[in-house]
Homo-oligomer: A and B are copies of this chain.
Amino acid sequence: MQPKIGFLGLGIMGAAMAGNLVKAGLPVTVYNRTPEKAAALVAAGARLAATPLSLAEETDILLAMVTGPEALDALLWGEQGAAGGFSAAKTFINMSSVPPRYTLNLAEELAPLEVTFIDAPVSGTKKPAEEGKLVILAGGDRDKIAALAPIFQVLGQKVVYCGPVGQGSMMKMAINLLLGVMMTGLAESLNFAQKNGLAPEALLEVIAAGAMNCGLFQMKKEMLLTADYPPNFPLKHMTKDLKFIIDTAYDSGAPVPAAHAVLQLFRAGVGFRLGDEDFAAVYKVLEHMNSRE
């Protein structure tokens, strides 16, 4: 019998992912704090749970995709929290981006409930989520992860096994480190070009024609040229992730000087009230700091 799937969190990412599960014909029940966000999914065939607890009780495999530790804690351990419905028969897959240390703590807290816990954040933002082309960074029992293939294949093009629980979150940190640094590199390069009299289109053309061309830069090109930054991955979330990365790097003794420099720009961006724009708006942070003589 096909397992029933629960989905917690219907933000930019969650809505796209749950939508793909519904489209694939899987039996999906969803929960979101603001139920309005579930309307389209319900119209498409999803069931709506009234509380995280009822979601957990009514389903076999619960996926969560929320903004971070606080949101996840509230949904798991708050009033009518999902954890109340966990048992040895169930699987809980956290796909939210959280620090590895948080994941390890969560694993300890979940242990007495005997629920199978999989740590599976994703690489990719809005568009890959919508297209089912996420890369899934899975930590936990290798066989159990393999058994989840039917679900993961709907959400993503690839599952990479990262190690025991916590290492999925760790991989996500490593990836977001690179993401933050690359985006800032593009922003510094473009701002440098403009301040020195080069056409931004010319720079982007040169980049696109060379070895640094990548999907990320193609995706951000329009934002940079139109100065309009609708959030695929909000700047404030990248800021939060970079702080986790700095912390983890510090603990492990890995030097990350570029990430430090990048974090400071994103932090300033939150200060400049750019937190809800896409993280490509780090370009606006640089513009703000330009000398205007």
Contact = CB atoms under 8 A, between A and B. Distances in A.
A179 interface: yes
Contacts of A179: 212
Contact of A195 (B209, B253, B259, B260): B253
Given A178-B185, A215-B211, A191 B135 contact: no
Interface in A212-269: 212-216, 219, 243, 245-250, 252-262, 264-265, 267-268
Given A192-B177, A202-B161, A202-B171, A267 B291 contact: yes
Interface size class of A (residues with CB under 8 A): 35 or more
Contacts of A32: none
A10 to B, nearest CB: 23
A257 to B, nearest CB: 4
Nearest to A270: B291
Interface stretch (A75-83, A109-117, A162-170): A162-170
Interface in A132-171: 135, 137, 157-158, 160-163, 167, 170-171
Copies of this subunit = 4
A107 interface: no
The SS class assigned to the A binding surface is helix
A269 to B, nearest CB: 9
Given A124-B210, A212-B214, A177 B185 contact: yes
Nearest to A262: B258
8 contacts: A158-B209, A160-B209, A163-B197, A177-B185, A178-B212, A181-B184, A210-B215, A247-B247
A73 interface: no
B250 A243 contact: yes
Contacts of A123: 206, 209-210
Nearest to A190: B174
Interface of A: 100, 123-125, 128, 135, 137, 157-158, 160-163, 167, 170-171, 173-175, 177-182, 184-186, 188-199, 202-203, 205-207, 209-216, 219, 243, 245-250, 252-262, 264-265, 267-268, 270-271, 273, 286, 289-293
Contacts of A209: 123, 135, 157-158, 160
A195 B229 CA distance: 29
A260 B267 CA distance: 13
Given A195-B252, A253-B292, A264-B257, A216 B212 contact: yes
